Structure 1
Amino acid sequence: MLLFFIIHLIKNKDAMSSPRERILEQAAILFHHQGYNSTGINQIISEANVAKASFYQHFKSKDDLCIEFLNKRHEYWFSKLIEFTSKSKNRKEKILSAFDFIIQMNERENFRGCSFLNILSEISKEQQNILRVIQSHKNDLRIFFNQLVKDELLATHIYILFEGSIIESQLFESNEIVNKSIAIVESIT
């Protein structure tokens, strides 16, 4: 899905060759493969083939770049989740297809997990602006399940299964837990 996300960035801009878009593209690749803390501004600048002044013209800091990356990732990820689940005929199928979306995501991104949680594990308490973007993404996911389920306790249970499925599938590079979560959701909905 990272490749699809980068293609999405490219297709949705008139001039992918702009320094800003090259910086965002390289940040997406590097944050995904190396992690946030292991990726330096100089590496992003070098691989995006931009001048340092260009970087700072578009982003005040690496944190600002991270926020922009996460906002674009949120927009892309949710549009794909909605598109994927909208093919379902009823509420239960839609919930189950959300878990199928995790499987698809794992296969496309080589079990890299959630960009938001990956970055969350790397930021400090002082990086509240990044934390707020991550919280907003997760809150939108909770709302997604609340709107589908209409029972807050059950929706929370499904949300926790969903999040746990992403984490466990990344940890073990397997969809086993996702499939078990699907079976659990089938039994409780």
Structure 2
Amino acid sequence: MANQRKNDARKAIIDTASRLFYKQGYVNTGINQIIEESGVVKSTLYTAFRTKEDILMEYLISSGAATDLALLNASKSGKDPKAQVLAIFDFLIDMVQGDEYYGCNFLNLISEISTDAERIVKQIQKQKNGVRNLFKNILEPIDKEDLADEIYILFEGALIANKVHHQKWPVEKAKKIAAQILS
């Protein structure tokens, strides 16, 4: 019973912090706000996590896994490697139009944190390298894995341009360029 309460409290902290980090940013989210909105007491939070950065790491790990799975699943709707890559861009087009989309959470965070926050930077790089590897793995069967980084740069650039313009056209243009590259 005590373990279940600990797990429930930990989940409430992570869920609350994840929502707040994504919506308002890491720097703008305070421990007291996480405590208040999660409904846990301060001692429970500090029993589960030593620091705010520890909460952030858990957020990055869990959201990274969810993002990787979503991109992989999106790719599976394509019948061949080119269609699989383009399906990922279609997924992005749908995602950036969502009411609760505030930009790529990893790119948002990397712009907020100090470059000397090594474990955070490494976790973000790990997730982004996972996206690069996804493109590489998709393109390997057609001997075009050398184009994976170009496709990845289009993917990231589309996310950044969308953040600036708040419109879907950057992702649509990146998809069009990816299709041309893969022809």
The answer to whether TM tops 0.5 is yes
Residue of structure 2 equivalent to 1:166: 159
Query: Secondary structure of the residue that 1:155 maps to in structure 2?
Result: helix
Residue of structure 1 equivalent to 2:102: 112
Q: Deviations over 1:45-77 (max 9, x none)?
A: 110010111111111101010000010001111
2:22 aligned with 1:32: yes
Residue of structure 2 equivalent to 1:4: none
Residue of structure 1 equivalent to 2:168: 175
CA distance 1:115–1:73, change in 2 (3 Å): same
CA distance 1:109–1:136, change in 2 (3 Å): farther
Q: Is the 8 A contact 1:111 1:173 kept in 2?
A: no
Residue of structure 1 equivalent to 2:111: 121
Separation in 2, partners of 1:127, 1:158: 28
2:177 aligned with 1:187: no
| Unpaired segments ≥5 residues, structure 1 | 1-13
Residue of structure 1 equivalent to 2:90: 100
CA distance 1:105–1:33, change in 2 (3 Å): same
Q: Structure 1 residue 125: deviation in Å? A: 2.6
Q: Is the 8 A contact 1:85 1:98 kept in 2?
A: yes
CA distance 1:177–1:121, change in 2 (3 Å): same
Residue of structure 2 equivalent to 1:3: none
Q: Is the 8 A contact 2:110 2:121 kept in 1?
A: yes
Separation in 2, partners of 1:110, 1:68: 21
Residue of structure 1 equivalent to 2:45: 55
CA distance 1:180–1:161, change in 2 (3 Å): same
Query: Secondary structure of the residue that 2:84 maps to in structure 1?
Result: helix
Moved more, 60-69 or 177-186: 177-186
Residue of structure 2 equivalent to 1:154: 147
Separation in 2, partners of 1:187, 1:98: 15
Query: Secondary structure of the residue that 1:18 maps to in structure 2?
Result: helix
Residue of structure 2 equivalent to 1:43: 33
CA distance 1:134–1:165, change in 2 (3 Å): same
Q: Is the 8 A contact 2:97 2:167 kept in 1?
A: no
Q: Is the 8 A contact 1:111 1:169 kept in 2?
A: no
2:54 aligned with 1:64: yes
Q: Structure 1 residue 111: deviation in Å? A: 4.0
* Identity value in percent: 36
Residue of structure 2 equivalent to 1:78: 68
Letter in 2 for 1:94: Q
Q: Deviations over 1:107-156 (max 9, x none)?
A: 23544111111111111133111111101001111111111223354111
TM-score by length of 2: 0.90
